[in-house]
């Protein structure tokens, strides 16, 4: 606990630089990555990150110093050239976008490795630390690096806020943005620019190999929680910042634990948790929703069939055999469905069978009414054969809301109290409409 408090309060200057730098990096990368994620260009970040290695090394060769601003400038120029090269290849040849990204990524990164080998062979201690740009070394962050992080983060934030509405239009509807007079090429270049800036300052902390993960994984995790752009940006930035903060803490509390890889592990864990437990889009929520839907459909089918049997003079008492003549239930499904309906008070046990309660009869009659209304709609408006409408209505009866029902009745010119009982089912033999 003392170690955690010391970390949170930033008493150690070295911790202060690393923690703040990774927090800013994670937050900015997560937010900026959302734009590429929504544009389905997530691999652009991967290509740009790998393409920055030769830029960093050439900047060192030309300047002879490892000043972070000089190296960031070199990385940014190299990343920008990689994007221009990808665009040129796709426009001037038959090579597709994903192939062009792979070609540029491997070519630039291979050239960077060659340059790094040459530098390590010909430069002594002057070149130490350049290899950190491949796999990252946040523990080696200096005050100058943290200051550079802060300046770049501030610049990215100002640009996003200044052009937010234009960026939003381009991201979601390129044709609309062009039609209302937005300079699409400028905004597209701006998104590329802030992406390059974010990557160029982050490669020293988490490395070229893993930097793209900070652009891709946070918005992926945030997308499970929201469908609004502002919330996506905030959540993505929060997830990225949280991962950077916790990654730095693991590195601080455990000897020889790298910050960058732990940051990626934590953000991946956040994404996995989001995928499983997020409301509405999470796997568990969707599985549970499907299970509840299946249960509701089975319950409604049983109640509807019991009502239909009553209407046809087969009596109010029913069991699995009588229901299965029109709506098949295997034994285990029957037992589970009956238990749920009894708990809800929709059916009652009577001797060797069951009977509907007042609420159950009303509910079943409403489902039967929806079924027949949809049959009438399919027959009159869709010109569907009367022999085919039943199967379609068997599905739709469970999803007709009062609003949709009112719209259908209005389109058919019928009042809300319309009783469709005799509309279809007495026009043809019963076994054609409701086959056993």
Split at pLDDT 50, 70, 90, the class of 426 is very low
Same domain, 49 and 168: yes
68 vs 249, which has greater pLDDT?
249
Question: Distance between CA 47 and CA 66 in Å, rounded?
Answer: 24
Query: Per-residue pLDDT averaged across 27-42, rounded?
Result: 84
Query: Per-residue pLDDT averaged across 339-355, rounded?
Result: 91
pLDDT at 436: 35
Query: Per-residue pLDDT averaged across 323-348, rounded?
Result: 92
**Percentage of residues in the chain having pLDDT higher than 70:** 89
Query: Which CATH number belongs to the domain containing residue 365 in this structure?
Result: 1.10.10.10
End-to-end CA distance of the chain: 69
Same domain, 431 and 318: yes
pLDDT at 128: 64
Maximum mean pLDDT: which of 14-28, 34-48, 268-282, 397-411: 268-282
Split at pLDDT 50, 70, 90, the class of 154 is confident
Same domain, 140 and 165: yes
pLDDT at 260: 76
Same domain, 427 and 316: yes
127 vs 246, which has greater pLDDT?
246
Query: Which CATH number belongs to the domain containing residue 97 in this structure?
Result: 1.10.3470.10
How confident is the model over 98-141, as pLDDT tens digits?
Answer: 788 889 888 988 988 888 888 877 765 556 666 667 766 666 66
Question: Distance between CA 61 and CA 119 in Å, rounded?
Answer: 8
Q: Indicate if the pLDDT at residue 348 is higher than 60.
A: yes
16 vs 291, which has greater pLDDT?
291
Same domain, 295 and 260: no
Q: Kindly give, in sequence order, each residue whose CB lies less than 8 Å from that of residue 146, ignoring residues fewer than 6 positions away.
A: 16, 17, 20, 21
Same domain, 242 and 364: no
pLDDT at 129: 63
Q: CB–CB of 355/320 below 8 Å?
A: no
CB atoms inside a 10 Å sphere around CB 268: 15
Same domain, 304 and 251: no
**Percentage of residues in the chain having pLDDT higher than 90:** 19
Split at pLDDT 50, 70, 90, the class of 359 is very high
Same domain, 259 and 315: no
3 state DSSP class of 348: strand
Instruction: Match 């285990």 to its residue by tokens.
Output: 332
Q: Indicate if the pLDDT at residue 248 is higher than 50.
A: yes
How confident is the model over 47-98, as pLDDT tens digits?
Answer: 888 888 888 889 888 887 777 778 888 888 998 998 889 888 988 888 887 7
Split at pLDDT 50, 70, 90, the class of 425 is very low
Same domain, 273 and 286: no
Same domain, 221 and 304: no
Maximum mean pLDDT: which of 23-27, 100-104, 268-272, 277-281: 268-272
Query: Per-residue pLDDT averaged across 330-341, rounded?
Result: 93
Question: Distance between CA 17 and CA 11 in Å, rounded?
Answer: 11
Q: Of 32, 33, 43, give the one whose Cα is nearest residue 83.
A: 43
How confident is the model over 189-229, as pLDDT tens digits?
Answer: 888 888 888 887 777 777 777 777 888 899 999 999 998 88
Helices 143-162 and 68-92: angle between axes, nearest 10 degrees: 50
Split at pLDDT 50, 70, 90, the class of 355 is very high
Q: CB–CB of 306/323 below 8 Å?
A: yes
Q: Whats the size of the chain, residue-wise?
A: 436
Q: Of 350, 353, 315, give the one whose Cα is nearest residue 334.
A: 353
266 vs 15, which has greater pLDDT?
266
The range of the structural domain enclosing residue 410 comes to: 282-436
Same domain, 76 and 37: yes
pLDDT at 427: 39
Instruction: Match 């002057």 to its residue by tokens.
Output: 126
pLDDT at 325: 86
Same domain, 15 and 141: yes
Question: Distance between CA 207 and CA 217 in Å, rounded?
Answer: 16
**Of 122-131, 212-221, 274-283, 378-387, which range is least confident?**
122-131
Which tokens in the block code for residue 218? 């946070």
Asked whether the whole model's pTM tops 0.95, one would answer: no
- What single DSSP character describes residue 318? B
* SS3 per-residue string spanning 360-375: HHHHHHHHHHHHHHHH
Split at pLDDT 50, 70, 90, the class of 360 is very high
CA angle 272, 277, 278 (to 5 degrees): 95
Q: What is the mean pLDDT of the chain?
A: 82
Last residue of a domain, one of 279, 301, 322: 279
Q: Count of domains in the chain? A: 2
Q: Indicate if the pLDDT at residue 329 is higher than 70.
A: yes
Last residue of a domain, one of 279, 311, 345: 279
Last residue of a domain, one of 246, 279, 312: 279
């Amino acid at each position: 606990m003392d170690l955690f408090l010391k970390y949170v309060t930033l008493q150690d200057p070295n911790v202060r630089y690393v923690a703040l730098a990774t927090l800013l990096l994670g937050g900015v990368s997560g937010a900026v990555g959302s734009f590429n994620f929504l544009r389905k260009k997530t691999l652009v970040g991967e290509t740009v990150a790998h393409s920055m290695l030769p830029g960093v090394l050439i900047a060192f060769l030309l300047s002879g110093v490892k000043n972070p601003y000089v190296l960031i400038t070199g990385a940014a120029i190299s990343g920008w050239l990689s994007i221009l090269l990808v665009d040129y290849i796709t426009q001037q040849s038959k090579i597709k976008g994903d192939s062009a990204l792979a070609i540029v990524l491997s070519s630039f990164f291979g050239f960077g490795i060659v340059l790094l080998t040459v530098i390590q062979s010909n430069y002594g201690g002057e070149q130490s630390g350049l290899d950190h740009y491949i796999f990252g070394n946040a523990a080696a962050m200096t005050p100058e690096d943290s200051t550079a992080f802060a300046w770049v983060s501030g610049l990215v934030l100002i640009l996003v806020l200044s052009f937010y509405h234009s960026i939003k239009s381009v991201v979601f509807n390129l044709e609309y943005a062009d039609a209302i007079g937005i300079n699409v090429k400028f905004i597209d270049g701006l998104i590329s620019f802030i992406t390059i800036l974010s990557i160029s300052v982050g490669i020293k902390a988490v490395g070229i190999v893993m930097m793209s993960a900070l652009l891709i994984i946070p918005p992926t995790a945030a997308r499970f929680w929201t469908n609004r752009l502002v919330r996506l940006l905030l959540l993505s930035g929060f997830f990225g910042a949280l991962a950077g903060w916790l990654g730095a803490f693991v590195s601080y509390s455990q000897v020889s634990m790298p910050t960058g890889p732990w940051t990626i592990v934590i953000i991946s864990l956040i994404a996995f948790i989001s995928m499983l437990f997020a409301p509405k889009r999470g796997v568990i929520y969707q599985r549970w929703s499907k299970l509840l839907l299946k249960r509701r459909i089975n319950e409604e089918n049983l109640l509807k069939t019991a009502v239909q049997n009553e209407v046809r003079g087969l009596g109010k008492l029913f069991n699995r055999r009588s229901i299965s003549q029109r709506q098949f239930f295997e034994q285990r499904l029957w037992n589970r469905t009956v238990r749920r309906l009894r708990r809800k008070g929709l059916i009652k046990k009577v001797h060797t069978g069951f009977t509907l309660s007042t609420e159950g009869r009303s509910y079943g009659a409403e489902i039967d009414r929806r079924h027949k209304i949809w049959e009438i709609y399919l027959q009159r408006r869709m010109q569907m054969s009367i022999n085919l409408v039943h199967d379609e209505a068997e599905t739709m009866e469970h999803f007709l809301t009062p609003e949709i029902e009112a719209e259908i009745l209005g389109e058919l010119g019928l009042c809300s109290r319309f009783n469709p009982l005799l509309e279809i089912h007495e026009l043809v033999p019963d076994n054609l409409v409701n086959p056993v």
